[in-house]
Amino acid sequence: NIFGPSGCSVICHWCNLWFDLTLDIEFMSTIDDEILQSLPVGTTATMYFRDLGPQLGWTMVFLAECIGPLLTYLLFYFRVPYIYSHRYAFTSSPHPVVILACACHTFHYMKRLIETIFVHRFSHGTMPLRTIVRNCAYYWGFSAWLAYYINHPLYTPPSYGEIQINYALVMFVICELGNFSIHLTLNNIRGDGSRARRFPVPTKNPFTWLFFFVSCPNYTYEVGAWVSFSIMTQCLPVALYTLLGFIQMSIWAKGKHRAYIREFKDYPSLRMAIIPLIL
């Protein structure tokens, strides 16, 4: 029986397929936490099912997106054969910034893996398999591209040396801690057992005070971390990856910001989407 508690996607255990469920009330789509008995229908209702195709859970999606870049980068860092010239196989870079960049990159994706397993609560159940393949190609491909140049035998350190590297490192650590703090705050809102919808607000944690100015400070901190990584390595592919990530995260942040404004009449008017007072 594929019925029972219905959501916007249900699975038929007979054929192991995912479907989208829509009721014949002006083709109203159901949402994940609705029960059939509570929907505004009479004794009979017409339901339409749309095959969603192969799906994977969001936890598996995030794991696939993060494990790939983590391992790919390390292949270039350790200079496995057939990446660079054979005389550089399994050699190490003489520049300390290359070691630091590897540590920061590894820390970033290890943090994301830990958050995926222990922190994140996903509002959507699954993602189409074709989208996962596209996302993984993006993350894995960019990770390989920037790792190739940072770990290249001809790589040169940043123009301003240790001053540039150290300032960028401090900025990177601050942004990573801020990003983690925001994710914990969002998790606490969703996991307190309350059914009432609330928007996130600053807490006693100073990293969450960015909520005074933006709706999605997790994206703000994420962009900040990649900007600092770009400054630290002074590598053009990293800067391009940061720019593309900022564009995509700005789209997500503006969508979330508009949703907050629609849902909450008392939503703070001072907040912007991702950049305080600007965007």
CA distance 163 to 261: 42
The one-digit pLDDT tens for each residue of the chain (279 residues) are 344 444 445 444 444 455 555 555 444 454 555 666 666 655 566 666 665 666 666 677 778 889 999 999 999 999 999 999 999 999 999 999 999 999 999 999 999 999 988 887 765 566 676 778 888 999 999 999 999 999 999 999 999 999 999 999 999 999 999 999 999 999 888 655 555 578 999 999 999 999 999 999 999 999 999 999 999 999 999 999 999 999 999 999 999 999 999 999 999 999 999 999 999
The DSSP string of the chain is ---SS--SEEEETTTTEEEEEEETTTTEEP-TT--GGGSS--S---EEEEE--SEEEHHHHHHHHHHHHHHHHHHHHTT-TTTS-GGGTT---S-HHHHHHHHHHHHHHHHHHHHHHHT---SS-EEEHHHHHHHHHHHHHHHHHHHHHHT-TT----TTHHHHHHHHHHHHHHHHHHHHHHHHHHHHHHTSS--S-------SSGGGGGGGTBS-HHHHHHHHHHHHHHHHHT-HHHHHHHHHHHHHHHHHHHHHHHHHHHH-TT--TT-BSSSTTT-
What is the reported pLDDT for 28?
Answer: 47
* Residue 61: per-residue pLDDT: 75
